[in-house]
């Protein structure tokens, strides 16, 4: 239309070229307008890119106008341009290793300036250049690249560790609160009856809650503290039940050993929930904690009513398996045997894992 009204003149032999150039400049102008809000948010970064482009154009202009081999001014501008590009892409790496980069490149740059400006003229410099080629400036790049790769690997490893730590923290919070609710209900009943057992229940429950909240957040605890926690749990359950229940807890381990907290309680909870609570009489739970040369072995044997087995899978055992895989990886073994009305669970954990 502009050509029709004579505002512009499109050569008849090159209409495609003009159309392509027009579309290109339309895209260049329209893109910033379309992404105005994004550009506004990224204003600082865009400004840096524009500055780098200007530096590069100035370097080309200086090199063209001065027409001087290995122009020091052009060299300085190009070095500034490439340093700026790298800083724009990986600012954290540059901020961390700028001293190393400066230690490598400043002596090289000073030596180059000395050869170029004070070696006795252009002819003498060109002769020396044969023995001091420009590729020496690129030799440190692989070293810096491998340092950067190492930093990325270390970051990724830390990220995985943080993910595991966060996941462990979440798994710890998933410990079944069912027991605490039941104990509080029983405590309420004891206080209404003004039973002498009420203070004992309060003390044991307080110790358990303290252990769960404070010790449960630690990476490792002494095994004697874990034993005391399990004993409190068992004693509180004994107060609950009015039916005949046989509960034994035998332990023969070095109490100075350490272990991740709140692992055994999940197995013990399952033994009570799916064993004792399903039986009207003759219920039992036999708990053993001992050690071998390389392993700490925790086992629970309990009977249950096969007709009362729940088909739904609780989060307790899944929680335990996931925690074990994060904490002990290939240094543990969890075995579950079910036969008739007997349930046997054995957990072996490597010492000093």
Helical H runs in 174-197?
178-192
Quote the pLDDT of residue 166: 66
User: How many residues appear in the chain?
Assistant: 353
Phi first, then psi: give them for residue 342, nearest 5 degrees.
-120, 135
d(CA 173, CA 212): 9
Per the structure block, which two tokens stand in for 91? Answer: 């600012």
d(CA 323, CA 74): 60
User: CA 8 → CA 1, 5, 244, distances in Å?
Assistant: 9, 8, 104
Q: How many CB atoms lie within 10 A of CB 36?
A: 10
Per the structure block, which two tokens stand in for 273? Answer: 């929930």
d(CA 335, CA 232): 25
Quote the pLDDT of residue 20: 84
Region of residue 143 (left: phi > 0; alpha: psi -120 to 50; beta: else): alpha
Cβ proximity of 236 and 183 under 8 Å: yes
Residue 171: band (very low, low, confident or very high) from pLDDT cuts 50, 70, 90: low
Which residue(s) pair with 258 in the sheet? 222
Phi first, then psi: give them for residue 196, nearest 5 degrees.
-70, -15
d(CA 208, CA 212): 6
DSSP letter for each residue of 160-178:
HHHHHHHHHHHHHHTS-TH
Residue 169: band (very low, low, confident or very high) from pLDDT cuts 50, 70, 90: low
d(CA 353, CA 350): 6
Quote the pLDDT of residue 310: 58
Q: What is the mean pLDDT of residues 155-161?
A: 76
Q: How many CB atoms lie within 10 A of CB 240?
A: 18
- Provide the edge-to-edge strand list for the sheet that holds 295-303: 245-252, 283-291, 295-303, 342-350, 332-339
Residue 312 above 60 pLDDT? no
Cβ proximity of 334 and 313 under 8 Å: no
User: CA 110 → CA 116, 247, 298, distances in Å?
Assistant: 10, 82, 69
d(CA 273, CA 248): 16
Residue 124: band (very low, low, confident or very high) from pLDDT cuts 50, 70, 90: confident
- As a whole number of Å, the end-to-end CA separation of the chain is 81
Residue 309 above 70 pLDDT? no
Per the structure block, which two tokens stand in for 264? Answer: 């055994």
Of the candidates 183, 141, 207, 351, the residue with the CA atom closest to the CA atom of residue 272: 183
User: 226-250, pLDDT tens digit by residue?
Assistant: 999 999 888 888 877 767 788 999 9
Question: Any idea which residue has 């893109």 for tokens?
Answer: 31
d(CA 40, CA 37): 5
Q: What is the mean pLDDT of residues 216-223?
A: 86
Q: How far is CA 12 from the centre of its chain?
A: 63
Cβ proximity of 303 and 341 under 8 Å: yes
Q: What is the mean pLDDT of the chain?
A: 82
Q: What is the mean pLDDT of residues 98-127?
A: 81
Three-class SS of residue 242?
coil
Q: What is the mean pLDDT of residues 105-131?
A: 78
Three-class SS of residue 181?
helix
The whole-model pTM stands at: 0.55
Which residue(s) pair with 346 in the sheet? 299, 335
Quote the pLDDT of residue 175: 57
Q: What is the mean pLDDT of residues 309-335?
A: 77
């Amino acid at each position: 239309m502009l050509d029709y009204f004579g505002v512009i003149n499109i050569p008849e032999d090159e209409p495609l070229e003009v159309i392509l150039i027009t579309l290109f400049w339309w895209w260049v102008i329209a893109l910033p307008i379309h992404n105005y809000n994004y550009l506004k948010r990224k204003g600082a970064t865009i400004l840096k890119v524009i500055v780098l482009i200007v530096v590069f154009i100035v370097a080309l202009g200086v090199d063209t106008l001065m027409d001087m081999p290995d122009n020091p001014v052009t060299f300085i501008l190009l070095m500034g341009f490439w340093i700026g590009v790298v800083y724009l892409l990986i600012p954290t790496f540059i901020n961390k290793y700028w001293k190393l980069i400066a230690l490598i490149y400043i002596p090289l740059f000073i030596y180059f300036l000395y050869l170029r400006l004070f070696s006795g003229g252009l002819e003498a410099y060109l002769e020396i250049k044969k023995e001091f080629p420009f590729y020496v400036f690129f030799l440190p790049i692989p070293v810096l690249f491998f340092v950067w790769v190492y930093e990325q690997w270390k970051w990724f490893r830390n990220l995985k560790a943080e993910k595991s730590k966060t996941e462990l923290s979440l798994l710890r919070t998933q410990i079944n609160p069912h027991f605490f609710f039941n104990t509080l209900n029983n405590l309420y009943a004891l206080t209404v009856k003004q039973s002498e057992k009420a203070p004992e229940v309060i003390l044991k429950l307080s110790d358990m809650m303290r252990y769960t909240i404070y010790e449960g957040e630690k990476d490792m605890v002494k095994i004697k503290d874990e034993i005391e926690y399990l004993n409190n749990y068992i004693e509180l359950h004994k107060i609950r039940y009015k039916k005949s229940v046989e509960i034994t807890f035998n332990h023969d381990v070095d109490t100075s050993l350490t272990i991740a907290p709140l692992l055994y309680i999940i197995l013990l909870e399952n033994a009570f929930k799916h064993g004792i609570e399903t039986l009207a009489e003759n219920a039992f739970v036999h708990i053993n904690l001992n050690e071998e040369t390389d392993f700490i072995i925790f086992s629970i044997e309990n009977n249950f009513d096969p007709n009362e087995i729940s088909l739904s899978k609780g989060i307790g055992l899944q929680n335990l398996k996931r925690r074990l895989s994060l904490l002990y990886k290939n240094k543990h073994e969890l075995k579950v045997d079910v036969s008739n009305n007997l349930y046997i669970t054995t957990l072996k954990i490597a010492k000093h894992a």
